[in-house]
Each structure stands twice: as structure tokens, then as C-alpha cells.
Structure 1
Amino acid sequence: KIALISFHSLEDRIVKHGLRNSDLLTVMTKKPITATESEIQHNPRSRSAKLRIAQKVAF
């Protein structure tokens, strides 16, 4: 499995397209996982973070 965190919209776009176009990976999360409201209150910089998870396809 691979987990990728992006903090900028351009980074996220590159990650999203890279995962989608890969024949070796299956995307595990349809939408990115983002910080909850309570996490953002405790850590304001987490607001822009997006987590995407993929898994290697078995041959």
C-alpha cells in the first residue's frame, strides 16, 4: 500500500492523475481524506492536507 499526502492543489492534481493512470496501482479511496474540524482547530495547517491511498495490483 502507498499513502500520499498533498498540501497544494497542483500537487493533489498530479497525485490524483498519477494514481488514476497507473496500471500497477488500485486507488483505495474514491475521495481524498481530509482533516476533521476538530483537527483543524488544533492544527490549522492541516486544513489543506489531502490523503490518498492506493494498493499495488497483484500479478
Structure 2
Amino acid sequence: MPESTPHTRVCRDCDGFATAAITTGTRHPDGTRATLRVACPACKGTGRTLPAALARAGK
């Protein structure tokens, strides 16, 4: 029988895309765009969440 891979819990707020690059509209002197990196506040940039039982237990 094939082995099943363990199911990792994906953050429900960011759907696993934990960091986004947002352009500010300005450019650097070399012509590249100035960007900001923003992390998901729910999972703090990991893209995964803990099961509810572990989160309530404080682990």
C-alpha cells in the first residue's frame, strides 16, 4: 500500500501564501521598484497553523 503523506494545516487567512511583496509605486535610482514585504498576521509568515487543541493548550 502507498504511504500517505502527513497533512500539513494551511493557514486559513493566507491560504499558505504567508508573505506578499507590495510595490510602493516609487523606483530606486537604478530603476528597480521599491517594494514592501508583508507577513500574514495570523500565522506570522509561516503559512501554517496549529491544530485548535494545541493552540488552546498553549503549546
TM interval, shorter chain, is: under 0.3
Q: Which has the higher contact order (CA 8 A, sep 6+)?
A: 1
Largest Rg, 1 or 2: 2
Report the TM-score, using the length of structure 1 for normalisation: 0.27
Which structure has the highest helix share of the two? 1
